[in-house]
Amino acid sequence: MVDAVHVESEFAPLRTVVLARSEFATPADARNSPETRFLPDPGAIAFTGDLRDADPARQSRWEAERDALGEVLVSYGVEILRPRLLTSAEKAFTGSAGYANFFARDPFFTIGDHVIEGSMRFAHRRVEVLPMRGLFAERVLTTGARYVATPMPEVPEEHDPALGPGPFLEGGDVLVLGRHVFVGTSGLASSPAGIAWLAHYLAPFGYTVESVRLRPDILHLDCALGLVREGLLVACPDAFLDGIPERLRAWDRIEVSLAETARLATNGLPVDPDTYVTDPEFAHIGEQLKRRGITVEYVDFSVSRSFGGSFRCSTQPLRRTVDPDPAT
């Protein structure tokens, strides 16, 4: 019997999760691209081709980070699923744009019992959903979950820095709080057209979708905001053009700076409302969480963070539920 797919919130107990692979080939001229605008150190991607060939030692450390996170999650009873690796044909498909299979959060996302393929803005990430589809066949299509895809983005004009009108919709921008869904937009990832599509799709199921405007150097909403448990969040107030969303302003808040945001301070991962995973670089955040009664697990994620993503970015839940089986 395949367990039901359902994500109630960002902090409901994590039961089944997709954990990212570690594949990345840099786009040509990546350092002069909008794709590096959000990185604290663009020099982190100053290599040519696949990291596995350019720097095997760093590649090994990167893979070890993901394995260490998986071990922590398994110790809390979480089921880990891994996408396959990219094929040679998939790697060749995007040409000089490079390729990525490194942050499972973005190419698809789960809201309630809806599994939704995203629509990626950056060209090197457009095939990133393909290694996930075997998991969808095994773990989504065999359940009563709904499985849809965001419309394919339009072809951009040559030299368009925005890469066209989209629609773009990326999982790092999508935060779930029951029937309320926050979606960030900075101009680097999800677009108004993508958010409008999601709102239209989810409305018949009783969901409200709220657009959250971000500074143009913030990649995703989860780079500026993390929901730790009901009533508690980690956030960078300066990252929001209109302030922290009204629905969350009364919550207890651990604030971080823009500099910490660039290093992914808000991108920890709740295992459940009482357990949180973060990087030892953010031990000061961990101490504040501990004072609020939360158990903090530390995993060094420095290589993952150098590519612009951390714990939440590296995972995408298929089940986050208070009830172990929401179908019963």
Q: Rounded to whole angstroms, what are the CA distances from 16 to 53, 77, 121, 289?
A: 32, 9, 27, 24
The two tokens of residue 242 are: 């209109």
Residues 175, 221 contacting (CB under 8 angstroms): yes
pLDDT digits (tens, 9 = 90+) for 121-155: 998 899 999 999 999 999 999 999 999 999 999 88
- Cβ neighbors of 195 (< 8 A, separation 6 or more) are 169, 183, 185, 209, 211
The region, left, alpha or beta by phi > 0 then psi within -120 to 50, assigned to residue 81 is beta
Beta-bridge partner residues of 134: none
The two tokens of residue 205 are: 């199921």
The region, left, alpha or beta by phi > 0 then psi within -120 to 50, assigned to residue 92 is alpha
What average pLDDT does the structure give for the chain? 94
Residue 32 has pLDDT above 70, yes or no: no
Neighbours of 243 (CB within 10 A): 11
Q: Could you give the 3-state DSSP secondary structure of residue 68?
A: helix
Residue 328 has pLDDT above 60, yes or no: no
Nearest residue to 122 via CA among 56, 191, 209 = 191
Q: What is the pTM of this model?
A: 0.95
